[in-house]
Amino acid sequence: MTCIIGVPREIKADEHRVAITPDGVRELEQHGVTVLVEAGAGVDSGFADDSYRRAGAEVVSEASEVWERAEIVCKVKEPQAREFPMLRPGMCLFTYLHLAAYPHVADALLEHEVVGIAYETVQTSTGALPLLAPMSEVAGRMSAQVGAHFLERHNGGRGVLLGGAPGVQPAKVVVLGAGNVGWNAAWIAAGMEAEVHLLDRNVDRLRFVDQVQMGRITTLASNRGVIERTVVEADLLIGAVLVPGGRAPVLVEEDLVRAMKPGAVIVDIAIDQGGCIATSHETTHHDPVFERHGVLHYAVGNMPGAVPNTSTYALTNVTLPYLSDLARLGVAGALALDRSLVSGVNTAGGHVVNPAVAEALGKPYLPLEEALAGLRS
């Protein structure tokens, strides 16, 4: 007996993505899975309601019906405050949660005893984060073009062209972190002919970048001294560090921001994990930047939401196999089939069941098996 999957319209500020494409619905329909889609959920991503109907979805007019009928609610972003009353015990919520940055969301999931599975903490045995990777790639690629935009003088920046011009030095771009976000940020910035410096503590990761880019990106082993020297020289600083499930470490303190060039730009992509720049706070696409110590800060928590068509396709590509397993086998069956999904479970039965998330939230940790046993009993 398959579970009913519900896809509500996203209501976070300036969030235009939807959790699944019509093609994804069609694939689930082939497996006998019923999918409820809230009317208008896919419009901003370029998917009309009729396209979901043709794929086999039931389109319903009210979000409340999606939340009430669905056993698995599939979203893009964490539930917002006005969605909290629609949470209920035993419901499975499959979405980006980032609970370390949004502890009030964690409190709501615990209060309502929701099984919260976070895309960003699903991790394979090799350490890969398959459901975070595509949005990391999108955000990383966007960060270079966003930085280039705000470096323009009329947008508040230094008036520097990222790639310079013949006879003119290009902008200096410093990227903190060489994971999927940072690697993509550095790659695009280098393609725009900026001078790019990529920092990471993992020398093997830097070795990979160096071999692929063949010197077009300067790779540097990250430590306090290197960060201090490179950041103060940066025209564009991109923060791209990640601790799966935990809060991002603050690598750039306020005094270092104060020492940066007037009109320099910071893009803190780690803001959805609390941010890696001390002076950052979350912004929106509608009001994306603020100035602190003469430095322009961009810290939008849902960057890929600005390109929802691309992002929704990329997200569905990776979430669909997991979603299919959850719907056909139930939570326990899907967890038994694919152990990488185990690390994705953040909350269950009113407990935090991911150790990194528990540590970040300062809450007690209960092993997942014990929490699930409590649900079955």
What spatial distance separates the first Cα and last Cα of the chain, rounded to whole Å? 21
CB 9 within 8 A of CB 63: yes
Q: CA 241 to CA 221: how far, in whole Å? A: 14
Catalytic residue among 44, 200, 235, 272: 272
Structure tokens at 155: 């947008």
285 is catalytic: no
CA dihedral defined by 223, 224, 225, 226, rounded to 10 degrees? 50
- The amino acid present at 47, given as its one-letter code, is F
Structure tokens at 236: 């564009």
Catalytic residue among 16, 98, 112, 351: 98
Q: CA 27 to CA 8: how far, in whole Å? A: 19
98 is catalytic: yes
Nearest to 252 by CA among 273, 217, 280: 280
Q: CA 117 to CA 237: how far, in whole Å? A: 32
- The amino acid present at 208, given as its one-letter code, is F
Q: CA 204 to CA 210: how far, in whole Å? A: 10
Q: How many CB atoms lie within 10 A of CB 81?
A: 10
Catalytic residue set: 98, 272
